[in-house]
Chain A
Amino acid sequence: MTNHWIDLKNADVILMMGSNAAENHPASFRWILKAMEERDAKLIVVDPRVTKSASLASLYAPLRPGTDLAFLGGIISYAMEKNRIQKEYVLEYTNASYLVNPQYGFNDGLFSGYDPGKRNYGDRKSWTYQLDANKIPKRDKSLNDPQCVYQLLKKHYSRYTPEKVEAITGCPKETFLKVADIFTSTHKPDRVATIMYAMGITQHTVGTQNVRGFSILQLLMGNMGLAGGGINALRGESNVQGSTDHGLLFHILTGYMPAPTAKNHPNLAAYNKSQPQTSDPMSINWWSNRSKYLVSMLKAWFGDAATKKNDFGYDWIPKVSKPAPYMVLFEDMLKGIIKGTFLMGTNPIVGGPNSNRGGQALEKLDWLVAVDLWETESSIFWKRKGANPAQIKTEVFLLPAASSVEKEGSVSNSGRWAQWRYKAQNPPGTAKADLDIIDMIFREVRSLYKKEGGKLPEPILKAVWDYIHKGEHEADPHIVAKEINGYIWSDKDQMESFMDLKDDGSTACGNWIYCGSYPGKNMMARRGTGEGPGSIGMYPEWSWCWPLNRRIIYNRAAVNRKGEPWDPERAVVKWTGSKWKGDVVDGGPKLGPDKKNPFIMNNEGVGRLFAPGSALADGPFTEHYEPMESPTVNTMNSQKVNPAAQIMEGVAGQFSNPGQYPYIGTSYRVVEHWQAGAMTRNLPWLNECMPSMFCEISPSLAKAKGIKNGDRVKVFNGRGNVSAYALVTERVQPMNVNGRAVEMIGLIWHFGQGGAATGDAANLLTPTIGDANTMIPEYKAFLVDIRKEA
């Protein structure tokens, strides 16, 4: 979240799209309902079905799964057409006036530079700005130049007419226009909209571009940086924010530093050279500090062994040789490339796409270590339907883990608040905290390396690994937290701020964005209840928020160039002419809004209506493409699916076609169960409320198939069969798509064959295809058929 949960109360309009927060983030509704009650805020819910969130909305708009970009493109077009944009903000704080390379082009769904053979945009040189003699982007502040971003944007989105939106998405034109009208009412400086999204937006072949659509809209409305505004990703697990913050994805190191690649970053100098640069004196370009953060991270990891001479141990950290997201890992297991796997707090047999294939992949492993509270479907993959245990040689180890109340440490919520939690009781039996499990394994591996040697021993032997106090037996999470915070190497003094980090080896910091979380005192353990500046509910003394306890990021954009808040009633920060007041300001406290641009993480310093360079794999503007499995044709262009979405060779023949499988399948969660269900399907109180696997279908589909509410049905496609109860409900209705009614089958995905409450996994049906940028699987739109079970 750019903002945070409590800040939802400050919104005038809340657009909830690709999120069913009432089901998945129920506490958010405390603040949404407060905004509705006290500010007369409008909640717009855009969703394929009437969800619990939709039942609380001011306006509900239906939408076919996988057509968000047509819908968002329509709103962008509406805003441009009606001139409902925050003009001053757009001019000053976005790249609307920047001139784009004349080589840039867009034709029939393809941007310039496409390589059809490789299915990618290998050449993105034309997705750039025109530069002046000082290498500063040229601008036309009148916004009339046909090559300026504003004009290109207007032209690109003019194709998204309300009629097109209706035909593609199935949302009636009148309803769509109401959404567009309410949302764009926030173009006024003192009206603010927030956007709440989750997996309904990201789990598509165009997932990243869906979020881009939000970015463009929020920039046009001038809603970024303001209280009650922003783009708010509602994270799926209580600490998934913490896990990505700490670099748990293949493409990033800690603090969102890009992971070095073998090809482009063979040494530290090459990595540092790739650091974003700017010649624009108005740009803060925060990433120009990246080398300090990387070297400090290396220093924290390798200590005295990290010296200037050996690039601070840069050679010892892994370099990416190819993108290695979830789906690629499983394909590599199938190919026998990956021979052993740790599953910690993950249950891919239930949670991963195409899970029959996932099961076959685990069968190829020599060994599997599952670390969890309970036996999960993945740790007993060899017992699953259709598997032959006699043929499976994988050695499986199950390590019992402590639950979140049985260990101490921090949990970072969606609003970036790192909150310290204490251990309430000891874990049962031999169960251990994840930290202890990792610590014990590492120390054992190190001792084996010492005794027997091995490949690339340096990172194992030279790592600073000292998390146990003398005389104790368990690792102390406080030591880890202090290392994450960072310290002066010479005297081990804890640091206050990442502004003091250096790239000469004199500072160590595990994760620069958490610098300041433990400067001697554990800031994350704070429980101060003062509301803080203004009355916008920042609560700056409750826990600690990255970066530097900044509650709303991009908050420089909350004021105009003179430093006056766009809305004085909801001021986030204010520039007095000599200093900042309010929230901890972005980009350093010294310079005012007249001297520096607000979007400090972009090298041009302004928000990107047009995403230049290599920021995205699939285009500087958004464009509608159909999901990989779609019941209809793409009427926006001749490309069927996102042309930059990678299709893996092993699954190319596996996709369903609408002739064989006529119904849209989609998957989602219910409030009673948690993700893949290991933690909740073993709890009687929750199983009582939600005991069985079910799917939701419309009364019309039920009638056509002779299915009654509560019947057992089979949902199937070429990848799998799912047995489920049918919930026949008016909440699901066929959608009118390009002139034809298309039915949808919604499946909850929490179930599997392990645990106390069992059922088939919805992911037996989902395809192995992902987003062009992140490769998150397309769980939200695929094709299936259904019949009543005999």
Chain B
Amino acid sequence: MSGKAFLVDTTKCSGCHACQVSCKQWNNLPGEKTEFFGGPEMTNPAQLSAITFNHVIFFPVDRSNPEKPSWTIMHKKCYHCQNANCEVVCPQKAISKKDEWTVIDQSRCIGCGACVNECIYKVPHILEKDMMKYGIEQPLAKDKTYKCHACTSNKRDVPACATTCPTGALTYGDRVNIVKRAVDRLEKVKKNYPHASIYGLNEFGGLHVITILKEKPEKYGLPVDPKPVNAAKVQQIHDVYGLLAYFTLGIPSLKRAAYRISKNLVG
């Protein structure tokens, strides 16, 4: 598998939130109005959203070894699956690969939620409110779906999040080298964390975000051996949608209804 990739090394993350903030800055995304909610810990906002493409997740600390407390802080964004379910299920062909990255073309998106429902990582989100009120110059459109596009819509050599990471917990490079580095690093990390693991080598044909974890992936809610979507069933839904869409006159809300009906019909 070729192309670029990110390496998330949770053994080096200090939870500074710089990736989350620099993503907003580079992509001109508004801040979310949040309130303290007990995270766990300093997690905020609660999850990824249509205006939050990078997220720093704090897990509870494990003090079973009092001299070496284990506190995992994990950078999360779209994993950019090689065989992305979201891409397969989109009835509008709004999701495609741009270089190796899975990106959404908002001009085609109708906000039907197919990708939102199908992504097991809960990455894409539909923008439900008009974000103009935040005074952001480049407005995001309501009822469209958004997620990380690896800074491809606002091109730069290294995506903003990886540029800004101060500790080396988030890096970027050719996937071949990233995988090699991850495997090497895992060996070293295992001295301190015997159950350490790598996530993303093979899931969905290989992810473009490789994560080094202190424990097994399940502990961090990352599904092991996830299944691709049922292509035959998706095709049936798309076939029905194709027929119904003819009557929607291109009106997004009618298109969304058409998609819902297609899905229900196929069952």
Q: Give the B-binding residues of A (Cβ under 8 A).
A: 22-23, 26-27, 29-30, 33-34, 37, 50, 52-61, 172, 175, 178, 670-672, 683-694, 709-710, 725-731, 733
Contacts and interface: CB of A to CB of B under 8 A. Distances in A.
A127 B32 CA distance: 60
B231 to A, nearest CB: 38
24 contacts: A26-B16, A29-B14, A50-B63, A52-B15, A54-B71, A55-B61, A55-B69, A55-B71, A56-B14, A58-B68, A178-B67, A671-B17, A685-B21, A685-B31, A688-B45, A688-B52, A692-B35, A692-B36, A710-B36, A727-B39, A731-B63, A731-B69, A731-B71, A733-B63
A162 B63 CA distance: 23
B38 A691 contact: no
B61 A730 contact: yes
Contacts of A728: 38
B14 A53 contact: yes
Nearest to B24: A685
A56 B10 CA distance: 10
Interface in B158-175: 166-168
Contacts of B52: 688
Interface bracket on B = 35 or more
6 closest pairs, A vs B, by CB? A684-B31, A710-B38, A55-B71, A692-B36, A22-B14, A709-B38
B14 A59 contact: no
A59 B96 CA distance: 47
B16 A691 contact: no
Given A55-B61, A729-B61, A26 B68 contact: no
Given A26-B16, A689-B17, A690-B44, 16 more contacts: A29-B12, A29-B166, A52-B15, A55-B14, A56-B12, A56-B14, A60-B66, A172-B66, A684-B30, A685-B25, A688-B33, A691-B34, A691-B35, A692-B35, A693-B36, A710-B36
A61 B70 CA distance: 14
A671 B164 CA distance: 14
Main secondary structure of the interface of B (DSSP, over half): loop
A59 B41 contact: no
A694 B36 contact: yes
B73 interface: yes
Nearest to B167: A29
A691 B71 contact: no
B48 to A, nearest CB: 13
B42 interface: yes
Interface in B1-37: 12, 14-18, 20-21, 24-25, 30-37
A669 B52 CA distance: 24
A27 B38 CA distance: 26
B41 A729 contact: yes
A168 B31 CA distance: 45
B31 A22 contact: no
A234 to B, nearest CB: 14
A730 B14 contact: no
B60 interface: yes
Interface in B83-102: none
Contact of A50 (B34, B71, B166): B71
Nearest to A57: B68
Given A684-B134, A727-B41, A26 B18 contact: yes
B188 interface: yes
A690 B42 contact: yes
A130 to B, nearest CB: 45
Nearest to A692: B36
Contacts of A23: 14, 16
A520 B166 CA distance: 35
